[in-house]
Amino acid sequence: KAGVTQTPRYLIKTRGQQVTLSCSPISGHRSVSWYQQTPGQGLQFLFEYFSETQRNKGNFPGRFSGRQFSNSRSEMNVSTLELGDSALYLCASSLAASGGRNEQFFGPGTRLTVL
């Protein structure tokens, strides 16, 4: 069974641009969560999608948005990029929504660098 895949793996953008990251969960998994990982802040929760609906949202500005498609693939978008958005963006999938005890499987991440 293939794991969680994220594309692209690396991305370089400049301030003010926007970016879209993609995540394909493990087959059969319906929940996708996104996290931002930086050296100083660790992993911070962005949002969770389940069956195309946003279930939870972390404390990030509205420039960060996401969506989930009917095949459970998810995208996240960051508009008007800032230098501080440089980070590793991780996607995690699980069978069900995070309301229960569910193991999350992480992808390798997308390394975003904002210049």
Partner 1 sequence: GESVGLHLPTLSVQEGDNSIINCAYSNSASDYFIWYKQESGKGPQFIIDIRSNMDKRQGQRVTVLLNKTVKHLSLQIAATQPGDSAVYFCAEKNTGNQFYFGTGTSLTVIP
Binding residues for partner 1 (CB under 8 A): 4, 33, 35, 40-45, 48, 55-56, 58, 90, 92, 97-99, 101, 103-109
Helix, strand and coil percent figures for the chain, each rounded to 5: 5, 50, 45
Q: Of the two residues 16 and 108, which places its CB atom closer to partner 1 in the complex?
A: 108
CB of 83 to partner 1, least distance (A): 20
- Quote the least distance from Cβ 11 to partner 1, whole Å: 15
User: Which CB sits closer to partner 1, 72 or 104?
Assistant: 104
Q: Which amino acid is at 19?
A: V
Q: How far is the CB of 103 from partner 1 (least distance, A)?
A: 5
Is the CB of 30 or the CB of 105 nearer to partner 1?
105
Burial of 4 (0-12, 13-18, 19+ CB in 10 A): buried
Tell me how crowded residue 20 is: count the other CB atoms within 10 A of its CB: 15
